[in-house]
Amino acid sequence: MNLLGDFLIGFSYPWRALRILPKRRYRHLTWVPILITAAVLSSTLFFIAVNFAEWTEGILPWWLAWLEWLLLPLLILTTVIIYYFTFVQIANLIASPFNARLCRALMKEDAEAPLAIRTREQSLLADSVGAISREMIKLLIYLSCIIGLGILFLLPIIGILFSPILLYFYAYWAAFEYLDYPMSEAGISLKGIRRNIRAQHSLMLGFGTAQTLLTLIPFLNLIAVPTGAAAATRLYLDQRPVR
């Protein structure tokens, strides 16, 4: 098994998906998630800008003020982490009905997709109820993971490894988050998604890593949500994971 090769293949999917979104037949399914992402991102950045000085003011006693040069970069990094997850989770939750419809539109064009998918028609209301319900379940899973990671961070020795563990979690969660769109269309449960990620770990980790990187790049992050849904759909159709 070529672990690096699989990782690089998975890593390529979000960048390849950037060519899908401008196509005329998908534009009406992408502009709403992009607007939602822009609104959530601008609100988050405004909140950070307004409160950042207050967060950093007086955090150290005067006799430790010489550590400020080390503390501020750590605070900035923590702020980026908060921004990342807040932005992605809220944007995905609100945009999930449109992401689901984009995923279905891509799957309908694939000749090997199940007939039930290629002929499925649902109203936006039905898509909204199903997609948002699924996103709420994922949000609860996400919160439980974050709480667990927070406890891990407090442990004296293991806490040193917090950053690489957190980076791995980012990549894993991005894969889990976006692969849910095509796999739920195919009737695969959340447990089934985790099973597929484990079975193709390097491939999925490459995809999640690239999607995480895309989310953090200014301006490109505005289209990260529909790009993730499109890339995960293309990945699912190419790899045909099992239930």
Q: Which helix (H) or strand (E) holds 38?
A: helix 24-56
Q: Using one digit for the tens of pLDDT, what is the confidence trace for 70-126? A: 655 665 666 667 666 777 788 888 888 888 889 888 888 776 666 555 556 666 666
* Helix 162-185 vs helix 124-154: crossing angle, to nearest 10: 160
Q: How far apart are CA 211 and CA 222, in angstroms?
A: 12
Q: Is the pLDDT of residue 59 over 70?
A: no
Q: What is the dihedral of CA 64, 66, 70, 75, to 10 degrees?
A: 60
User: In whole angstroms, what is the distance from residue 222 CA to residue 78 CA?
Assistant: 21
Number of domains in the chain: 1
Of all helices (H) and strands (E), which one includes residue 177?
helix 162-185
Size of the chain in residues:
243
Q: How does pLDDT run across 164-201, given as a tens digit for each residue?
A: 777 888 899 999 999 999 988 888 888 889 999 999 99
Q: Which domain does 172 fall in, by range? A: 3-239
Q: Are 233 and 107 in contact (CB under 8 A)?
A: yes
Which residue's structure tokens are 């709420």?
136
Report d(CA 128, CA 163) in Å as an integer.
35
User: Do 172 and 138 touch, CB atoms closer than 8 A?
Assistant: no
